[in-house]
Amino acid sequence: MPPMTTTIAVVNQKGGVGKTTTVASLGAALTEKKQRVLLVDLDPQGGLTFSLGIDPEDVDVTVGAVLLGTSKTEDAIVVTDDGMHLLPSNITVTQAEEALVSRTGREQRLRVALTKVADEYDWILIDCPPTLGVMTVGALSAAQQVLIPLQAETLSHRGVGQLLDTIHDVKQFVNSELHVLGVLPTMFDGRTRHAQAVITAIQETYELPIIEPAIPKTIRFAEAPAFGRSILGTSRTHKGAEAYRQVAASLLA
Ligand code: ADP
Ligand code: MG
């Protein structure tokens, strides 16, 4: 029987490429389609936690406590205004991350923690920090699929080779099931021929599938976190929200 839960790690060691926005928006789009969704914030900056209306400073039990084994997974999960479940993060996760480095099974801990609640969810989306450290490797070890958001601009694909090397290592040594779903172009400006050329170059250089549609560049994404809602909650008919709905539909198909 195929697994009932699909776990996707959203990964790119470059910051500011749209990882957090993708996790929040795809999660909201899947929730609209009556899917049960758990989001995991692995970034000590707590950007996902914040953008879904929860002040990271008010979070008592983080994903860090779960990874260190001082909290059960279900005790750390909170429900957002958008109706999604979230394993939150805040700055204390930095200490958890440091402590994990000398702990046994550090790369397996997220997988084990998520397995305990997986029955409750159709989708688990993991937001990674902008590094290839223990958190990101843990996410790749827990996931079946990897989604790589990439800003369609000059040289923004520097580092993709290193990311693919990490994915390859995880596949070989830890998680042979891992599958690269593809690159999701974000902040895409369709008016420039250049953006399209970058996407083609990535496809040819790395032989990676490109997930469609590309997510358009729009100021609405920057505004949504201020309301503590994803763009789908604040802007029902926006083209950015619509693009994420289409990506969600293709995940369901
Ligand atoms: P990451 O998690 O990779 O660091 P974020 O999702 O936090 O990236 O996005 C970085 C910044 O870019 C945020 O201010 C966000 O609101 C903005 N942003 C994300 N996606 C888009 C988009 N499609 N168009 C315009 N701005 C975007
Ligand atoms: Mg982020």
Our answer on whether the CB atom of 47 is closer than 6 Å to any ligand 1 atom is yes
Distance 18 CA to ligand 1 centre (A): 4
216 CA closest ligand 1 atom index: 23
Q: Which residue has the higher pLDDT, 190 or 245?
A: 245
Phi and psi angles of residue 126, each rounded to the nearest 5 degrees, phi first: -110, 120
Band of residue 228 on the pLDDT scale cut at 50, 70, 90: low
Q: Which of 12-26, 41-55, 236-250 has the lowest mean pLDDT?
A: 236-250
Q: Choose which residue among 21, 125, 127 to substitute to test ligand 1 binding: the one with the highest number of ligand atoms within 8 A of its C-beta.
A: 21
32, β-bridge pairs: none
Does 222 have pLDDT greater than 90?
A: no
- Identify the pLDDT of residue 234: 64
Query: Percent of the chain having pLDDT more than 90?
Result: 77
Distance 16 CA to ligand 2 centre (A): 7
Tokens found for residue 172: 């070989």
Does 235 have pLDDT greater than 70?
A: no
Q: Which of 50-54, 144-148, 215-219 has the lowest mean pLDDT?
A: 215-219
- Which residues have CB atoms below 5 A from the ion given as ligand 2? 19-20, 47
- Identify the pLDDT of residue 152: 79
| Strand ranges, E, within the chain | 6-10, 37-41, 78-79, 85-87, 123-127, 145-151, 179-186
ipTM over 0.85: yes
Phi and psi angles of residue 145, each rounded to the nearest 5 degrees, phi first: -135, 150
- Identify the pLDDT of residue 1: 46
- Identify the pLDDT of residue 96: 96
Q: What is the pLDDT of residues 64-118, one digit of tens each?
A: 999 999 999 999 999 998 899 999 999 999 999 999 999 999 999 999 999 999 9
Tokens found for residue 148: 């790589």
224 CA closest ligand 1 atom index: 16
Does 223 have pLDDT greater than 90?
A: no
- Identify the pLDDT of residue 226: 63
186 CA closest ligand 1 atom index: 23
Does 241 have pLDDT greater than 70?
A: yes
Tokens found for residue 22: 């993708």
- List domains and CATH numbers for the chain: 6-252 (3.40.50.300)
Our answer on whether the CB atom of 14 is closer than 6 Å to any ligand 1 atom is no
Our answer on whether the CB atom of 187 is closer than 6 Å to any ligand 1 atom is yes
Q: What is the pLDDT of residues 138-169, one digit of tens each?
A: 999 999 999 999 987 766 677 899 999 999 99
What is the C-alpha to C-alpha distance for residues 99 and 136, in angstroms, rounded to an integer?
A: 15
Q: Which residue has the higher pLDDT, 18 or 205?
A: 18
What is the arithmetic mean of pLDDT over 52-71?
97
| Mean of pLDDT over the chain | 92
